[in-house]
């Protein structure tokens, strides 16, 4: 079998657009996690961010998927914050017990951040700490840029002086030759 062949297909109509799976285990995992077949998903991991729809509604079955969600959706870039958030999701009792069906808590994808941040204090604090980090990093980068510009200007001056010294040292007066063979 070619490694690009995907002979294992899901027969559910909502999965008609899927390319298929390269091995039977992939199809079984898909059926277990997506369709709840074969005993259903083993354990749900919920997003620790309270205003996220994945906090209450549909969690993740694999830790890697939760980490990718935290990195992409919530812009948690550093490894410590992703690991800490993933650990929060793994601790027992973090599966939310209250399933609010309000529109405020459901999907925040297209809502303004001011509306979302007013409803929850924890994400606001998280945003504030990220903002402080970004401001510090920005100031550090500006300082590095100024230092580099000063170094570049200094190097330009050195190059200019060296070019002048080289031009002065290469200026050689050749003796003039006269047609009678004498020099001046």
Mean pLDDT, residues 134-160: 91
pTM for this model (two decimals) = 0.35
Is the Cβ–Cβ distance between 47 and 59 less than 8 Å? yes
Please give the pLDDT value at position 184.
61
Rounded distance, CA 53 to CA 159, Å? 60
Say which range, 16-20, 58-62, 87-91, 109-113, has the weakest mean pLDDT. Answer: 109-113
Rounded distance, CA 117 to CA 140, Å? 28
Is the Cβ–Cβ distance between 46 and 59 less than 8 Å? yes
* 55 burial via Cβ count (<10 Å: 0-12, 13-18, 19+): middle
Please give the pLDDT value at position 88.
61
Q: Which are the contacts of 55, defined by CB distance < 8 A and separation ≥ 6?
A: 46, 47, 48, 49, 96
Secondary structure class of 67 (helix, strand, coil): helix
Please give the pLDDT value at position 97.
42
């Amino acid at each position: 079998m070619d490694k690009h062949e995907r002979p294992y297909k899901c027969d559910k109509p909502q999965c008609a657009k899927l390319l298929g799976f390269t091995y039977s285990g992939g199809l079984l995992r898909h059926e277990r996690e997506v369709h709840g077949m074969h005993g259903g998903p083993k354990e749900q991991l919920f997003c620790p961010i309270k205003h996220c729809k994945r906090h209450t509604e549909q969690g993740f079955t694999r830790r890697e998927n939760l980490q990718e969600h935290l990195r992409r959706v919530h812009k948690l870039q550093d490894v410590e914050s992703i690991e800490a958030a993933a650990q929060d999701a793994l601790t027992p009792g973090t599966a939310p017990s209250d399933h609010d069906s309000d529109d405020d808590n459901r999907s925040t994808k297209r809502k303004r951040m001011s509306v979302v941040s007013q409803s929850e204090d924890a994400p606001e604090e998280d945003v504030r700490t990220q903002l402080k980090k970004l401001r510090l990093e920005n100031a550090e980068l500006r300082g590095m840029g100024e230092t580099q510009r000063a170094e570049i200007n200094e190097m330009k001056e050195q190059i200019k002086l060296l070019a002048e010294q080289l031009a002065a040292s290469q200026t050689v007066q050749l003796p003039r030759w006269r047609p009678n063979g004498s020099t001046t």
